[in-house]
Amino acid sequence: MALMTGEQYIESIRKLNMKVYMFGEKVENPVDHPILRPSLNSVRMTYDLAQDPEYQDLMVVESPYSGKAVNRFTHIHQSTEDLKNKVKMQRLCGQKTAACFQRCVGMDAFNAVFSTTFEIDEKYGTKYHENFKKFMLYSQENDLTVDGAMTDPKGDRSKAPHQQEDPDLYLHVVERRPDGVVVRGAKAHQTGMTNSHEILVMPTIAMGEDDKDYALSFAVPSDTDGILMIIGRQSCDTRKLEGGNLDVGNSEFGGVEALVVFDDVFVPNDRIFMNGEVDFAGMLVERFAGYHRQSYGGCKVGVGDVLIGAAAVAADHNGVARASHIKDKLIEMTHLNETLYSCGIACSTEGHQTASGNYMIDVLLANVCKQNITRFPYEIVRLAEDIAGGLLVTAPSEKDFKDEKIGAYVDKYFKGIGSVSTENRLRILRLIENLALGTAAVGYRTESMHGAGSPQAQRIMIARQGNLEHKKALAKAIAHVDE
């Protein structure tokens, strides 16, 4: 099968029989639901861009395993150039959607599982790498979107998986059969789950011998019996139900998260990639986290480009673009955003080949990248809100603006410079609101804090990878300290 067009992708999702719940009701048609459709459109962009000759060098790559052209989101990295192009692709997708485009987790899971299964097989003589390669080739051949599922609800964080009062708070095996296993539990915060053809499950933490039933990696179709999805709330999400598009800010694109419940789901043997090898759970988690922390140096930068542009347009509309302090704030926003991009490129450039043959980023620099992501977007948002002004959060609704009686007052008193309509001024302010405070805040501001692990998770990895003893030795040598 050739690369899908965006429309073919939409129709492929329409054919799935996913069980999706929102606001206490089952969503019978997730594809066309006004709250969910912008999220689907964001994923569609990754297909549309792959069809565009201008972007094919970034979006499309030849698979070394099939020799065919595949979307980079299903690719196994073969070089540091691949790692850099991944970050550049993610920035492009962020620029085109101003939202989370949802395929990064699956791509990062692909590469982490690829190398980890190779090393499990080397130690234990298992067939997990062969299983995974078949799944990878199937996903590439059919141009599938894959949801990477790592985060368990976790329950009491002070207890290991097997110690939880409710064993289902970590996904685990409840039955072993000759032809596979039955699993129960849930994965939380699943980005783009309703827009994915497959789910690639991984363990969420390093584990001990008593956690064997929890050391699992496998893949199943997203409409498998026993899987249901509960959509999370987002600020301003019901604005999409009101009609019109001014108040939404970004009416075409968005992102959603879901709690994905596995209620006694059967997984066949040929779709299992880890099954009790607790000594490799930590490796898989750290490799995935490293790749995904690299990703944020691309996707968040692309969305940041849009936010910086929107703040600059707001300054134009307010008639303050020439003010020195406004210029300085835009410079600072750009400096912060490009610093994040530099981190993404740096950890890619310093990557290395794994035993399996694919390429891994520099883990220390990837964690530095994500640590900066937990801080800089918040400052970029603060400066954007500063430049935009108070109307950002006090503007009347679109219905007020279009009302026959009071609309004229809104139009008259909220106009900025004479050459720009009040409507266009409000549209830019609503876009900034969407990125800073609304539904896209999940894909930019708040996700910058918690996506790919909390700030403390990165600090732990920075401590592990920082090689403090080497730095101490350097200082002692320079100071002629003889011990």
Residues assigned a catalytic role: 100, 104, 191, 257, 292, 296, 299, 447
Strand segments, DSSP code E, in 269-382 are 272-275, 352-353, 359-360
**Residue 26 CB burial class (10 angstroms; 0-12, 13-18, ≥19):** exposed
Total Cβ atoms within 10 A of residue 150: 27
SS3 28: coil
Burial class (CB in 10 A: 0-12, 13-18, 19+), 479: exposed
Q: Which residues are CB-neighbours of 206 under 8 A, at least 6 positions away?
A: 281, 282, 285
Triad 171, 176, 180: Cα angle to 5°: 90
* Closest C-alpha among 80, 116, 102 to residue 9: 102
- The residues, any chain, with a CB within 8 Å of residue 368's CB and separated by 6 or more, are 343, 347, 458, 462
Segment holding 262, helix H or strand E: strand 257-268
Local structure of 183: helix, strand or coil: strand
Distance CA 63, CA 190 (A): 27
Q: Residue 17: what residue type?
A: N
Cβ–Cβ under 8 Å, residues 260 and 190: yes
